[in-house]
Amino acid sequence: MIKKTEEKGALNWIINGSGFVCEISLVALVLMVGFEVLSRNLFGLSFSGVEILSGYVLVLLTFLGGSVALRAGSVYRMQFVEGNFHPFLASILAILVHLVAIIFLSLIVYYSSKLVLSSFARGVTSQANASIKLWWLQVVIPVGCSTMIMILISGLIKKSQLVKARLLGKRRLSEDAKK
């Protein structure tokens, strides 16, 4: 079960909602694949489209789950590098990493939004089931990446405030030493 944040605000509401959708999607994925495996092995039957639908659920889990993991701090970090730097330099490195990630995710949002709009305009449907419109599955990509961008901006602000506080603290120490 995904830990819900108790903080208030729209971002936390979105993250908690994403976590709930991920939980339901993961259960659905396990059930779909489990029934597919059992039906193939026991009855020689295969459900059409399970592979494609499973892929859709994996995309959903990747992009919505990414924002949940990012908020929880459960993402890959290079602690070896951070641990060998002075705390001030580690903070500067974290700010740079946040900026690069924001730029990268912004590109994904831009191009995936164009894909969603194109799929919507052309009425593109799923290969597995012609009644499934792809745009509402594809919209998960820009939504998930936008949520990750908001989380990264929040982290960037916090890191910047820490760097600013350290710089101001050093100035005050040097000013006190001069007196």
pLDDT digits 0-9 by tens, 85-140: 887 888 888 899 899 999 999 999 999 999 999 999 999 987 777 788 889 889 99
pLDDT at 55: 87
Q: Identify which of 70, 73, 93, 87 has the alpha carbon closest to the alpha carbon of residue 165.
A: 87
Q: Is 176 within a domain?
A: no
pLDDT digits 0-9 by tens, 55-93: 889 999 999 999 898 888 777 666 666 678 887 888 888
Q: Is 40 within a domain?
A: yes
E-state strands within 103-158: none
Q: Is 3 within a domain?
A: no
Q: Is 4 within a domain?
A: no
pLDDT digits 0-9 by tens, 7-62: 568 888 888 999 999 999 999 999 999 999 999 888 888 877 788 888 889 999 99
- Sign of the dihedral defined by the CA atoms of residues 34, 39, 44, 50, in that order: negative
E-state strands within 2-66: none
Q: Is 74 within a domain?
A: yes
Q: Is 88 within a domain?
A: yes
CB atoms within 10 A of CB 133: 14
Distance CA 121, CA 50 (A): 26
For 28, the domain range is 10-171
Q: How many domains, in total, are found in the chain?
A: 1
Q: Is 122 within a domain?
A: yes
Entry pTM:
0.79
Q: Is 151 within a domain?
A: yes
DSSP-based three-state secondary structure for 133: strand
